[in-house]
Amino acid sequence: MTDPRLSAVERFYDFHPINAKQILDAVAARGIAPEAITEAVLQQHDQDHYGGTAATDRLIAEAAVRADDVVLDICSGMGGPARYLAWKTDCDVTGLDLTASRVQGAGELTRLAGLADRVRFVHGNALEMPFDDASFTLAIAQEAFAHIPDKPRLLAECARVLQPGGRLVFSDILHRGDLSAHDAQRLLDGMTFSEIETLDGYAQHLGACGMTIVQRLDLTAEWTRILVERHAMYRSLEPDTVARLGREHFERYDRAYEHFVGLYRSGVLAGALIHAVRGR
């Protein structure tokens, strides 16, 4: 992998406060033994996007997910949404993620939840997906595309792996058009967000690869509230994070997150759920 921005993402998620060990520790703290783990237990801890299972339920409703859907979860992280979709709708899900430790952790959690027959994880880059053309009926992603440079190429890959008529339903961190170069650099350095798009930018790139937007939901107000709470939650993990990764790591992450949340509070950043359909 040559692009340093992609290597930085892998390092960022290797040391992320939400990880397989933290999820299993949280489950154990509830007095649940590993052999008693089910999807219903895991889903309270493993959704690494804003809004937990309620946000995934909204995505499921927007995408009208069916049991016969063949779903790709792009940037699947710890596999929480992938497992939830399969558990809730009986569909088949493949997760794709760049970070090897996330792929390994997602596989382990999925085996523990007994869903490995319908949910699998592949290590790879969304900019060159290791899948044949027209492999999926639905592709989803949550709060991940901001990490990925080169949106035209990313969306062309999404369109390529979808069947004609296939749906792409994703939520992402956006900006309103006045993100300064200084703030963009801080978001890259601190959060590994290499390219934050605008809503208009997404509409243009999707159109260029034969996809039409059929729905867009503004999530900015909801995310601002959630991010303030998330920051407090990360701060509450301070003793654990310091013990695991050191004080310097904790403080660097805390400063970066404070800046990120500040850009939501000041209305520079936004968020949306976008539903697009590949033309036939």
Ligand X SMILES: C[S@@+](CC[C@H](N)C(=O)[O-])C[C@H]1O[C@@H](n2cnc3c(N)ncnc32)[C@H](O)[C@@H]1O
Applying CB under 6 A, the residues found at the interface with ligand X are: 6, 9, 13, 47-49, 75-78, 80-81, 96-99, 102, 125-127, 142-144, 147-148
* 21/247 with CB nearer ligand X: 21
* 19/178 with CB nearer ligand X: 19
* 81/166 with CB nearer ligand X: 81
Closest CB 236 distance from ligand X, rounded Å = 19
Q: Rounded distance, CA 257 to CA 261, Å?
A: 6
- Residue with the CB atom nearest ligand X in the bound state: 77
Q: Among residues 45, 140, 123, 44, which one has the least CA distance to residue 89?
A: 140
Closest CB 47 distance from ligand X, rounded Å = 5
Closest CB 99 distance from ligand X, rounded Å = 4
* 12/254 with CB nearer ligand X: 12
CB 120 within 8 A of CB 90: no
* 178/184 with CB nearer ligand X: 184
The three-class DSSP label of residue 198 is coil
The three-class DSSP label of residue 18 is coil
CB atoms under 10 Å from CB of 265, counted, come to: 11
Closest CB 49 distance from ligand X, rounded Å = 3
* 18/247 with CB nearer ligand X: 18
Tell me 268's DSSP state: S
Closest CB 280 distance from ligand X, rounded Å = 27
* 35/46 with CB nearer ligand X: 46
Q: Among residues 97, 156, 165, which one has the least CA distance to residue 137?
A: 165
Say which residues have a Cβ less than 8 Å from residue 104's Cβ, sequence separation at least 6: 20
How far CA 181 is from CA of 5, 185, 188, 195, 208, in Å, comes to 16, 6, 10, 11, 26
Pairing of strands 162-175, 211-218: unpaired
Closest CB 134 distance from ligand X, rounded Å = 20
Sheet holding 92-97, edge to edge: 119-123, 92-97, 70-74, 136-142, 162-175, 269-278, 211-218
Closest CB 13 distance from ligand X, rounded Å = 4
* 31/96 with CB nearer ligand X: 96
Q: How many helices (H) and strands (E) does the chain have?
A: 12, 7
Closest CB 56 distance from ligand X, rounded Å = 8
Residue with tokens 């939400």: 18
